[in-house]
Structure 1
C-alpha cells in the first residue's frame, strides 16, 4: 500500500498500541533489509449543521482525501435538535470513506482531532442520550447551536450583569450554553434530573472517542462563561497545561439558578479543562477505534469549535514569497481576521492584550490560539440566508434544473446570469446592478456587533418581477448585505484597538468568487484564500498532529501546515468604493429604521 502500508495481513489481531509498534518494527525488519519509515497522516473530523466530514492530511498539510455523511436534524419553530448517536454513526461512515478514497490504512493515521458546531449534548451516567426535546424522543439529545428557544432565559441572565458577561461582549447570546441549560431546567425537569454530563458537541466527540471527558478551553471559554485567564494564572503557578477546572465562576451559576451545576467540582459541566490539541487519555478506545476503522491508542487532541478550527487551519496561510507579507514580524498575526463562512459566518481575530468590545464575543483567553486573546464576531445566518432567499423564490426550481443540466451549482449559474446582465445593461461594474435593492441580512437576529437577537431581516426594493434575473439580483444584494455586515464588524473591532488590515477566508462560501470579491471591495482589504479549501478539517487534523507530539505546540503546527492560495484584492476603481460607501450607509440606516418602527409598535400595543 502507498506510503508503507501494513506489514501484516488484515486478519492479524490488533494489539495494544505499544505492543503493536514493537511488532511492526520486528516484522518490517524481517521482511526487508532496511526499515521503511511509515508516513504520518493526520485525520480531522468536522461536524457541521448538516453533515459530518472527515479529511486526511499529509505532513505538508495537503489534503489526501475527504468524505462526508449527512446528519439528521429536527426543526420545530425556534427549536432545532439532533441526535448524538446519529452524529457518531455519520462520523464513522465519513472516516471509513475518507480512508478508502485516500488509500490510507487505519494504522497510518498518526493523530486525530475533532471540531464541531457549538451544540449542547445531554447524556446520562451510562453515556446514553437524554432527551432535550418537547417530544420526549430520547434520540433528540442535542440542542443545535442555532436553536433560539432560550431567548427569554438569555435576557434574564443578562439582566444580572454578572462580571463574567464582560468576557462575552457584555451579554450572553441564546446560542450560548447557560441560557439553553436554564431552559431545560425550567421546562424539562425529568431530563434535567437524568443528565450526568452536559457537553459541547466537539467535547462529547472526543469523550466518545477516548473516554476522557476533559473539556476544551475553546468550548468552555467561548460558550460556557469559563474564565480562561483564571486557568492561565493557575497554569503559571503550577507549571501544568492540564489542570482541574478553575475558571468557573460559582457565584454566576448560583445567581442565574443553575447552582446545582457547581456540585461535585463541576462534574456535569467539566472538572478538567485543557488547551486545544492536548492529548486525551490513552487515545482512541478499542471500541471507538473499531467503529472508526482506526487503531486503538491513536492520539486524540482536545477539540475546537468548528469555526475556531477554521481559524487554526488558515490563520498562518500568508504568501511568504510575496514582498507584501515577507517581512512580517511575530505580531503580524494580530492584524489578520479569519472569516469562516458556512451556514453562519464567524469572524476571528486575536491579540496579545485583552480587548473589550461591546457586542462582540470575547475577549476569550487561549480559545483558539494558545496564549492569545480571541475576539469573535459573527453573523448567525449567511449560507443559510442565501439558501433561504434562493429556495423561496418562484424561479428557483427552474433555475435549479438548468444548473443541474449544465453540471454546475446553482450559485455558479446565478454568477453567470449576473455577468451576462452586467454586459447587457452596460453596467460599469457588477455590484452596480443592485443600485435599487438593499438587504439587511439579520433574518436570524444580529449576533454582532449590535448583539440584537430580535433583529429582523429587511429587503428593500421589491417589484412584481419573478424572473430568474430578478432572483439573481436579490442573490447579489444579499451577498452584499452579508459583506456590509462583515464591514460593520471589522470597523467596530478596529475602533476598539484592533488593527485588522488583512482577511483570510475559508468555508463553503469562500469558494464562491463573487462572494469573496464583494467582500474585498466592500471592506477594502485583501482577502487571502488558503491553499487547501478544507480549512476546518485541516484545523481539526492539526489538533491530532499536536496530540501525537509531531509539533511542540499548536502555533508551530499552524506555521508548518497552513499554506496560502489565491489573494483577492479590492477593486482600485474609486467608483466602486463610492458606490459601496453609499450602500453601506443605507445598510446602517435600515437597522435604525427598524428600531424606530419597533418603538412605534411597542407604544401602540402598550
Structure 2
C-alpha cells in the first residue's frame, strides 16, 4: 500500500462512524491515545488541558507462565473503537482535532518490512507479535548481557532489566532467524502506533533511551542544534550490540531498531491525512512510553500558591517525583545534572522533560498485585457482588470496611489495623531500587480466617507494602543526589483515597493530584499540540496544559509516623531474610 493510500486508510479507520457534529473551524482540540496493559484509551482535550471526553476499549492478552503476549492488530482495532467513542462523547468533529499523540506500554512489537505482524510466540500464533512489558522470559538473557559490563549499562542503573528490549530481542532472535527472512523490525509499541498512523518509522528518544540503551546525550551532542531536523540516530553503541550477539541490529544504519530518532512531540512524516483529496493533515507527534506521558501530563501541576518565580522554575521541578500508578507504578524524577543511582533506571537524557536527566524508579506489580491479592481470596466473589449491587468499586467497599473496623476496634487510625500483617510486594520481582528480578513476594501474618474483614486487612497491608516500596525508592534517590520533597500521582490507583493517603503518610511528603485525572492521555495529547506547533516547545505546552487539583498532606500525628517507621523496618527486613533463605537453599542444593 502506498504512503498516501495508507494514511487515508488509517484516518478512515479512526474516523468512520463519527457522530454528525457541526465543526467549529476555530476550535482547537488535541487527541491523545494511550495503550495500557488491558485497554486502549482515547481522550480529547482543549487548549487549556481540560478533558472534553474519553473512552476505552479492551485489548486481548495471552499469558503462559513468564510469557505475556498481545496482538498489534487487535490493539489498533481497539484504538479505533476508543477514538470513535471518545469523539462521540465529546461531540468533537474530525476537523476540530489539530494534533494527535500516542503513548503506550514499553512492550516490544515485531513486524516485517511491510509492517505486517511477525509472531513472537512459541505457539506459532501469527496474531501474537507483541511481547508485553511485564513478560519475564528474558531473565537469563538479561543476566548474560549484564555480565558484559558494557559502558551503556551505567545509564540504566548499572544493569538491564528483563523488561527492557535488548534481552527480549535476544530471546527471540533465533526463532526469527530460523522461521523468517531477516527483513524485519523491532519497535516499541508507542513507536509502532506512530508508524502505523503515519508510515514514518522515526523512533522516540524516550523509548530508545529508556528501553534500548540509546545514548540520548550523544544524540544531542552530535546534532548540536536544538532546532535541527537532522534526526540521524547517532547514540547507538555498536560495540554493545556486537558484544551481546545482536550485531545484525547494527546493519543498515540500525534500520531494525531505529535509523532515525526524534524528541517527543516532533512532527512525524506528513501527519495523519483526513482524505486523499484535502490538503489539511493532522500532525502526529513522536510518541512517549505511557508512564513518561503521565509525567508530561502532570509534573508541572504545582498549585499556584506553590509556583516558584520564573527564574527558579528549572530547579523547582527537580524537587518533585511523579508516581504513575496503574498495573505497575513508575516513579519519575528529573535533575539538571546526571545522577547515577544503583538499581534505578537512568540517567536518561531528555527522555521525558527536554534538557533534563530522567531518573526512573518502579514497581513491576502494584495494581496487578492488588487485583491478585483480592481475586485469590475466598471472600472475593461475595465482596464483588456486594460492590456491584451498591454500584461502587471493590476498593471503595474495602475502604468502608476498614473504616468500620477502625471504629469498632478503637484503633487510633486506619493504618494501625495491620500491626500483625506485613507484605513485601515483590510478587513480580523488584524493579528498583534493589533491581532483583528474582525477588519474591512475602505475606507475614496469615491465619485461617477467610472473612471479608481479613481480606480488607490483607488489602490494606498490601497497599502499605507498595507505599513502603515507594519510600525506599525516594530515600534511595535522595541519598544519591536528588532532593525530592513533593509527590505527584496519576493513574488508576491515584483515584483511590486510601492508596494516596497511605503513600503521603509513609513517604512523609505532600501528594499533588492533577486537575484532570487522565494525565497519561493528556501527556499524549500534548505531543499532538507540540507537533501542531501550537506551543513553541514541549516544556511550554506542559506549563500551559498541566493544572493542579487536590493536595493530600501527610498526617501530623507523630504516632502515625512512629507506626510506619516500625513497619518500614520490618518491610526492609523481609527482603534481607529472603536473601538469607535463598543463600541457605543454594548451599543445600550445591
| TM-score relative to the length of structure 1 | 0.92
CA distance in 2, matches of 1:51, 1:593: 38
CA distance in 2, matches of 1:334, 1:323: 13
Question: Is 1:48 paired with 2:48?
Answer: no
Asked whether the equivalents of residues 206 and 300 of structure 1 are also in contact (C-alpha less than 8 Å), the reply is yes
Match of 1:66 in 2: 54
Indicate how the Cα distance of structure 1 residues 241 and 438 shifts in structure 2: closer, same or farther if over 3 A, else same: farther
How far is the alpha carbon of 1:189 from its aligned partner? 3.2
CA distance in 1, matches of 2:132, 2:543: 32
How far is the alpha carbon of 1:235 from its aligned partner? 2.0
Where do 5+ consecutive residues of structure 1 fail to align? 1-13, 18-30
Question: Is 1:483 paired with 2:467?
Answer: yes
Q: Which moved more, 1:229-238 or 1:132-141?
A: 229-238
Question: Is 1:364 paired with 2:352?
Answer: no
Q: Which of 288, 291, 296 does residue 307 from structure 1 map onto? A: 291
In the comparison of the two structures, how many residue pairs are matched? 572
Match of 1:397 in 2: 381
Residues 99-148 of structure 1, C-alpha deviations (whole Å, 9 max, x = no match)? 01100001110000000000000111111100000011111000000000
Question: Is 1:204 paired with 2:171?
Answer: no
Match of 2:484 in 1: 500
1:136-175 → structure 2 map (5 Å cutoff): 136-175=124-163
CA distance in 2, matches of 1:604, 1:466: 35
Question: Is 1:435 paired with 2:394?
Answer: no
CA distance in 2, matches of 1:489, 1:584: 12
CA distance in 1, matches of 2:448, 2:66: 31
Q: Which of 565, 579, 586 does residue 595 from structure 1 map onto? A: 579
- The 3-state SS of whatever aligns with 2:304 is coil
CA distance in 2, matches of 1:193, 1:340: 39
How far is the alpha carbon of 1:323 from its aligned partner? 7.8
Question: Is 1:417 paired with 2:401?
Answer: yes
Match of 1:275 in 2: 263
Residues 36-93 of structure 1, C-alpha deviations (whole Å, 9 max, x = no match)? 7511000000000000000000011000000000000000010000000000000001
CA distance in 2, matches of 1:168, 1:69: 33
Asked whether the equivalents of residues 131 and 191 of structure 1 are also in contact (C-alpha less than 8 Å), the reply is no
Indicate how the Cα distance of structure 1 residues 496 and 91 shifts in structure 2: closer, same or farther if over 3 A, else same: same
How far is the alpha carbon of 1:331 from its aligned partner? 1.2
How far is the alpha carbon of 1:322 from its aligned partner? 4.7
CA distance in 1, matches of 2:399, 2:419: 17
Q: Which of 448, 451, 462 does residue 432 from structure 2 map onto? A: 448
Residues 277-301 of structure 1, C-alpha deviations (whole Å, 9 max, x = no match)? 00000001568x99xxx99720000
Residues 411-436 of structure 1, C-alpha deviations (whole Å, 9 max, x = no match)? 00000000000000000000000001
CA distance in 2, matches of 1:241, 1:479: 46
How far is the alpha carbon of 1:329 from its aligned partner? 3.5
Match of 2:97 in 1: 109
CA distance in 1, matches of 2:521, 2:440: 32
Question: Is 1:123 paired with 2:107?
Answer: no
CA distance in 1, matches of 2:274, 2:560: 59
Question: Is 1:217 paired with 2:225?
Answer: no
Asked whether the equivalents of residues 487 and 523 of structure 1 are also in contact (C-alpha less than 8 Å), the reply is yes
- The 3-state SS of whatever aligns with 2:128 is coil
- The 3-state SS of whatever aligns with 2:340 is coil
Q: Which of 54, 57, 66 does residue 78 from structure 1 map onto? A: 66
1:249-264 → structure 2 map (5 Å cutoff): 249-264=237-252
CA distance in 1, matches of 2:313, 2:285: 29
Superposed CA RMSD:
2.1
CA distance in 2, matches of 1:41, 1:320: 25
Indicate how the Cα distance of structure 1 residues 593 and 572 shifts in structure 2: closer, same or farther if over 3 A, else same: same
1:318-397 → structure 2 map (5 Å cutoff): 318-322=302-306, 329-397=313-381
CA distance in 2, matches of 1:145, 1:107: 35
Match of 1:26 in 2: none
CA distance in 2, matches of 1:232, 1:324: 28
CA distance in 2, matches of 1:301, 1:507: 22
Match of 1:24 in 2: none
- The 3-state SS of whatever aligns with 1:338 is strand
CA distance in 2, matches of 1:241, 1:440: 48
- The 3-state SS of whatever aligns with 1:303 is strand
Residues 252-288 of structure 1, C-alpha deviations (whole Å, 9 max, x = no match)? 000000000000000010000000000000001568x
Asked whether the equivalents of residues 176 and 182 of structure 2 are also in contact (C-alpha less than 8 Å), the reply is no
Q: State the 4+ residue runs in structure 1 displaced beyond 4 angstroms.
A: 322-328
CA distance in 1, matches of 2:433, 2:378: 33
Asked whether the equivalents of residues 66 and 136 of structure 2 are also in contact (C-alpha less than 8 Å), the reply is yes
- The 3-state SS of whatever aligns with 2:433 is coil
Asked whether the equivalents of residues 349 and 374 of structure 1 are also in contact (C-alpha less than 8 Å), the reply is yes
Where do 5+ consecutive residues of structure 2 fail to align? 1-7, 12-21
